[in-house]
Structure 1
Amino acid sequence: MPGPKVVPVQGDAQLPSRVDVVVIGGGIIGSSTALELAERGVSVALCEKGGIGEEQSSRNWGWVRISQRDPREVPLMAEAIRIWQGLDQRTGRDTGYRQCGIVFGSKDDADRANNEGWPELLGGYQMKSRMVDVPELSGLYPGMKHDFKSALYTAADGRAEPQKAAPAIAEAARDKGAHLLTNCAVRGIETAGGRISGVITERGPIACSSVVLAGGAWSSLFSRNAGIDLPQLKVMNTVIRTKPIEGGPEQTFYGRNFAFRKRQDGGYTIASPYDNIVDIVPDSFRYMLKFLPALKSEWKSLRFRVSGRFLEEVRMAQRWRMDEQSPFERCRVLDPKPSEKWTDYALSELRKSYPVFAGAEIAQRWAGYIDVTPDAVPVISPVERVPGFFIATGFSGHGFGIGPGAGRLAADLVTGRNPCVDPTDFRLSRFFDGSKIELISGV
């Protein structure tokens, strides 16, 4: 079964000869960066090897949340929520955004202790969040059987439609003067005098003074060909889309065996907290030492496997010339085969636990690759050894909601504007300067 149906964006026919900035990657991060730059009067070309938003930006859960994030991301997510609230009006298009609230059940005492810290933290950002007891939790989800003693309810959290958001933002960037180039892979960067001077695309060169790499799961490979080390791996996640369900809940929910959120069409996106598949590939060995802290703390939620992906990546070129076809032209869209085991289990548990979902019918199932860094925090950073080159990637499953904020920060760094949040935690150099690399969960 093919991936989700994304709102189509028609690419421009003409390739510009020169712009100020080339953004590589037409997901929500790249599109948001392009919109921010275009609104500031910066000439920009957004280059996407396939279609706008066709990889993980349209395949994620659709959550827009500030709760239960790495605390280092919270300031940027607060900025993102403020942007989401006016995004439909700003773009003149429907992104499906709604501030519906998200509930995280407390599975045990440790979970409860973690949940209890969030209302105070988020209160400092004027984001509504509170603990709820069993009667209120039962009121939010009438008839749902559960054994939670409490839950975290963050009313500031919300949802949007992944198949609509990146296209809406990209089209808005074009309204402001950006060039949108689809089915136009960037093969590599060019430099002059030690700094960025342009890019080479499959359709020809574009001169520019800055480049933003927002290539998602492809970013490490692109960087390697440019002589830049970017530690990044892929994690596959599968979701189910149901047909419309009458009387279903508005609030998004994350529980012990399932997670769900209402869709704009009346159906639900359902996923399993355990359905995170890690294919063993050559990069697994290349970056093993850097990812050890993550493996030690997150191994219970990861499913390692050896699959055909290993041979695919063995055969994939790691270096290529600018006059050669790149790997990005050979694979326009990453469309992995969905994993049925854990999503079937999640749906089965949901049907048993919550009568309103008893008759839920699967309309579609798809999978996508999440771009992950060793500390599960993104890289939004200049590359010091190549002036004019910036990276915005590695969002580790948190990219959809934070995307508009990440685009603003990336644009700030490119233009030299005072950054909307402190970018220190997102610097690329943290992986090489002796900084302690660790996953931080809770508050």
Structure 2
Amino acid sequence: MSDVVVIGAGISGAASAYELAKAGLDVVLVDRFGPAAMASGWTLAGVRQSGRHPAELPLARAAVALWPTLASELDGETHYRRGGNLRLARTEAEATVIRRLVDEQSAAGLEITLLTTSADVRAVAPALSERVVCASLCPSDGSADAAASVAAFVRAAERLGATLRFGERVIRLQTERGRIAGVETDKGSIPARHVVVAAGIFGNELIAPFGLHVPLEIPMVTVLRSAPMRAMLEQVIGVANADCAGRQEHNGRFRVTSGLKSWPGGMLDVAGPEGIRPRVLPTAESIGEVVRLIGEVIPAFQGAEIEDIWSGLIDLTPDALPVIDAPDGAEGLVVAMGFSGHGFCLGPITGRIVRDLVVDKVTHLPIAPFGIDRFASLSGARAPATLHG
């Protein structure tokens, strides 16, 4: 019998498998596709504290403190760089949002500055257009390479003894005498004392037999990646109303995203060198919108050659906060899902929290706001999602 099965090899699951294996546990990491096949591979891969909900800010700050040394710790490349985060205003209405953001996050102790004029913004990021009237700047934010970072966690976990089972779908969780006993997959049974569900949009089907449910809306985001261009932008950029975001990767390619779009359902299983991978197709309208919106704030992007286009799915909770919990009534179960499009940055600290919940059933980090039972009393309009990070 294994100590723990981790379901989902995105950054949350991969980091959890690594931390659990480092703690000396016998770990099995299972994914129906493979590492970074879903949200963690589709993401913009920002590593940010700015723009976070107050409840999430302590976790983001703790995670950002880990990112600079992750490549050394994991003995694998993450392409992390601390280039800063700019959140842009293009109108006076958006400027009001940005000024409020800076006031609130400064009061929370975050190093964040208001760039009050278009000239101030372009002094920091000359590639941006005069259309930007002001911006917030958080210099300690940054970005990383999503696929490389997840792969580094996976390889490090494997070196520590974790077993990898990819291309294998978990059908149900097994229980015995009221506690977790393992998982049943489409290829057999894996006995285990603990199970971590880090399966994103597929998580609810696994936790439902325990009377658990994370209310999710599943919108999609269109992502474009350009051919390499000259280095011109260090920061990750977003805008006040979250209708687009982008950054320039370490290899010179721009990776840019749309705002949230309705997902009609449907996903293609595409065979490739890494096995079967899921693909969600964007609409022509959303592609054109991304080109237009990013081109308005980064004029050089208007002449970019586009190498790849895809859509990513967001596991969006009503309050845009994740579930990180060891729920009552399901001994041995830990749930880490619903990261609402901004869980990539949190991955390293999510892994440590999951390790704490499995090993000690408690963590010193403030996760009370992320309990799964909070949705019973939650009402009102959905919180806006932030997409870059």
1:101 aligns with 2:84: yes
The equivalent of 2:198 in structure 1 is: 214
Return closer, same or farther for 1:54/1:378 CA change in 2, 3 Å cut-off. same
The equivalent of 1:260 in structure 2 is: 246
Instruction: Verify the 8 A CA contact 2:173 2:184 in the aligned structure 1.
Output: yes
The equivalent of 1:89 in structure 2 is: 72
Where does structure 1 differ by over 4 angstroms across 4 or more consecutive aligned residues? 435-442
340, 356, 359: which one aligns with 1:415: 359
CA-CA distance at 1:398 after TM superposition: 0.8
Return closer, same or farther for 1:153/1:122 CA change in 2, 3 Å cut-off. farther
Report the RMSD for the aligned CA atoms in angstroms: 2.3
CA-CA distance at 1:63 after TM superposition: 0.9
| Within-5 A mapping of 1:227-266 | 227-255=211-239, 258-266=244-252
Structure 1 regions of 5+ residues with no counterpart? 1-17, 280-306, 313-330
Return closer, same or farther for 1:420/1:243 CA change in 2, 3 Å cut-off. farther
Question: Counterparts of 2:167 and 2:248 in 1: how far apart (Å)?
Answer: 32
Matched letter for residue 196 of structure 1: I
The equivalent of 1:136 in structure 2 is: 120
| Within-5 A mapping of 1:132-171 | 132-134=115-117, 135-142=119-126, 144-171=128-155
Look up the SS of the partner of 1:277 in the other structure: coil
91, 97, 102: which one aligns with 1:111: 97
Instruction: Verify the 8 A CA contact 2:126 2:232 in the aligned structure 1.
Output: no
The equivalent of 2:368 in structure 1 is: 424
Question: Counterparts of 1:117 and 1:441 in 2: how far apart (Å)?
Answer: 19
Task: Please list the CA deviations of residues 87-126 of structure 1 after superposition, one character each: whole Å capped at 9, or x if unmatched.
Answer: 1011100111111101012342531332222552453xxx
Question: Counterparts of 2:168 and 2:212 in 1: how far apart (Å)?
Answer: 22
Q: TM-score scaled by structure 1?
A: 0.78
Instruction: Verify the 8 A CA contact 2:102 2:112 in the aligned structure 1.
Output: no
CA-CA distance at 1:431 after TM superposition: 1.5
The equivalent of 2:322 in structure 1 is: 378
| Within-5 A mapping of 1:322-341 | 333-341=277-285
Instruction: Verify the 8 A CA contact 1:24 1:215 in the aligned structure 2.
Output: yes
* Residues paired across the two proteins, number: 372
Task: Please list the CA deviations of residues 127-184 of structure 1 after superposition, one character each: whole Å capped at 9, or x if unmatched.
Answer: 5321123232111232633344421100111111112111111111111111111112
Matched letter for residue 139 of structure 1: A
CA-CA distance at 1:62 after TM superposition: 1.4
Instruction: Verify the 8 A CA contact 2:131 2:296 in the aligned structure 1.
Output: no
| Within-5 A mapping of 1:267-286 | 267-272=253-258, 274=259, 276-279=260-263
The equivalent of 2:339 in structure 1 is: 395
1:79 aligns with 2:62: yes
1:193 aligns with 2:177: yes
Look up the SS of the partner of 1:387 in the other structure: coil
The equivalent of 1:342 in structure 2 is: 286
Instruction: Verify the 8 A CA contact 2:125 2:234 in the aligned structure 1.
Output: no
| Within-5 A mapping of 1:19-58 | 19-58=2-41
Return closer, same or farther for 1:133/1:435 CA change in 2, 3 Å cut-off. closer
Instruction: Verify the 8 A CA contact 1:96 1:160 in the aligned structure 2.
Output: yes
Instruction: Verify the 8 A CA contact 2:320 2:340 in the aligned structure 1.
Output: yes
Instruction: Verify the 8 A CA contact 1:195 1:388 in the aligned structure 2.
Output: yes
Look up the SS of the partner of 1:400 in the other structure: coil
Structure 2 regions of 5+ residues with no counterpart? 268-274
Question: Counterparts of 1:81 and 1:239 in 2: how far apart (Å)?
Answer: 24
Return closer, same or farther for 1:270/1:143 CA change in 2, 3 Å cut-off. closer
Return closer, same or farther for 1:357/1:229 CA change in 2, 3 Å cut-off. closer
172, 177, 187: which one aligns with 1:203: 187
